[in-house]
Chains A and B, each alone.
Chain A
């Protein structure tokens, strides 16, 4: 149907395009971040999120940028890399960058679409507004987020409890070169990403 109301020039500016909401809500329900949150609340919350389309090779964000929120993959693939080293690949249903929901710290890695991708941004600003209107559910989500971050910290500790530092220290009398540090940092990043998945 090609009615005038469907034309982009004449659409109702107040009415959001909501064809992605149902699909996103279903993906959210399957994710750890939304555990114990009722489906109708998730559905409502998804309605406040922001769908974006990215072309192949387009950056979702750069390392060092201030993060505004988490990203949920709807379709396509996104690679997470640092300094040219690939750390992980994100696919449909994955959520990444969720640390930005807690504070406005810098992104620690680049996120680049490797094929045309649809993603949904869940912004800290939306979480703040939601926590004012539905504090109980927002508290549940923050608890889930805390659990995810704690789990990742545990994984990182396990990675650190290996012999990475010992090897480096043994070679260089307590000093490390930039290359060694970058290699170590990339390993740590991978551990974080794997823990997240």
Chain B
């Protein structure tokens, strides 16, 4: 009886020592600690994330200056000054243009219901004329406008909060970015020094791999957004749709939101066609064709070559995570959920790999089985 109990407790101990279980427990503890920290720093979370993105974007330029023998502080100061000047100049140039276009769209949008009704009536007449189906244009217009209005209100609220956060963080972001550029490595090293000796090397290996893969993923997503924006802008311009650059950039940015982004990207061009001087069904089809063509190129070329290898997550995981991210953190959550999830996946896998290797060799050392294989010589 006593022996059976002992065997049972040994089995439980062995189960807890299993690398997958240990890695999962460590990860969950880490996530819990990170969540507690996120709640504490939530007021400055947005500024921190944007600063980290800027830090990642500016690091290569900083390295170039330091390669040429610039002292670190001078290199950081010059990089920050050039970036800030560039952002201010770009904002000063683009702001009037974008504001003007948005006002123009808002003025034209007042007639959106009439334009949509006209288009649907035309389509309805054509369908009835060809004895296909009966289309109640007025009812369909009301349904579409109600649904679109609800969606646009939600998006508008999220975007408004997003840009309000940017406005509120205008002073904080450059300051945090400056200190990150100066001291990120020191801060990271100090944090890694907290690791126990046994996990010091493993911790660094996991950090290095996770950081590299995350940077690849973010780089891939950014490249994808730029290419999609360029394709959509060119496509809209070729088929003669107004505000082609604005629509293209919107499509590129929305495409960074997994699964839902490309569906959302179809709304702005349709709205623009409807409020234009020629709101015909053909133009709506052409606008949709541009989006579908860009999506096809994205699916067949960009995702397999740029994004997919670095983010092989199950679609269901992605859908649920993006929905939850959007629910809890708005527009910001929609964009950042996948990189976060992806980082957790990499850390978990690397933890399992490292702990499995450690436990295998430590067990092997104890029992004399840890001798390297003959083939290695």
Contact = CB atoms under 8 A, between A and B. Distances in A.
A67 B183 contact: no
Interface string B333-377: 000000000000000000000100110111011001011101001
Interface string B196-215: 01101110110110000000
Contacts of B189: 16, 48, 50
B368 A83 contact: yes
A66 B202 CA distance: 7
Contacts of A132: 63, 67
Contact of A13 (B190, B197, B370): B190
B67 A64 contact: no
A68 B365 contact: no
Contacts of A134: 66-67
Nearest to B207: A125
B193 interface: yes
B358 A65 contact: yes
Interface residues of A, number: 40
Given A63-B361, A66-B354, A133-B66, A188 B201 contact: no
Classify the secondary structure of A's interface with B. mixed
A20 interface: no
B205 A63 contact: no
A133 B71 CA distance: 12
Contact of B201 (A63, A67, A129): A67
A176 to B, nearest CB: 9
Nearest to A104: B205
A61 B361 contact: no
Nearest to A44: B72
B139 interface: no
Contacts of B197: 52, 54, 58-60
Given A50-B192, A135-B67, A64 B201 contact: no
Interface in A1-18: 13-16
Nearest to B211: A125
A104 B205 CA distance: 9
A68 B201 contact: yes
Contacts of A67: 201
Given A14-B187, A110-B365, A52 B374 contact: no
Q: Tell me which of A65, A106, A121, A129 has the highest count of chain B C-beta atoms within 10 A of its own C-beta.
A: A65
Interface in A96-152: 104, 106, 108, 110, 121, 123-125, 128-129, 132-135
B148 to A, nearest CB: 48
Nearest to B200: A52
Contact of B370 (A15, A63, A66, A133): A63
Interface in A132-185: 132-135, 178, 181-182, 185
A62 B372 contact: no
Contacts of B202: 65-66, 68
Given A14-B183, A48-B189, A185-B377, A65 B361 contact: yes
B19 to A, nearest CB: 13
A69 B201 contact: yes
A67 B368 CA distance: 21
B190 A16 contact: yes
B277 interface: no
A30 B24 CA distance: 45
B357 A63 contact: no
B63 A64 contact: no
A121 B66 CA distance: 24
A123 B188 CA distance: 14
Contacts of A60: 197
Q: Tell me which of B63, B185, B201, B365 has the highest count of chain A C-beta atoms within 10 A of its own C-beta.
A: B201
A5 to B, nearest CB: 16
A182 B183 CA distance: 48
Given A16-B189, A48-B185, A132-B63, A61 B365 contact: no
A126 to B, nearest CB: 9
A68 B205 contact: yes
17 contacts: A13-B190, A14-B183, A48-B185, A52-B197, A62-B361, A64-B364, A64-B372, A65-B357, A66-B354, A68-B200, A68-B205, A69-B201, A69-B204, A83-B368, A125-B207, A132-B67, A134-B67
What 7 A-B pairs are tightest by C-beta distance, nearest first? A64-B361, A68-B201, A14-B183, A125-B208, A68-B204, A133-B66, A133-B63
Given A14-B179, A133-B63, A185-B377, 5 more contacts: A16-B190, A63-B365, A64-B372, A106-B361, A129-B185
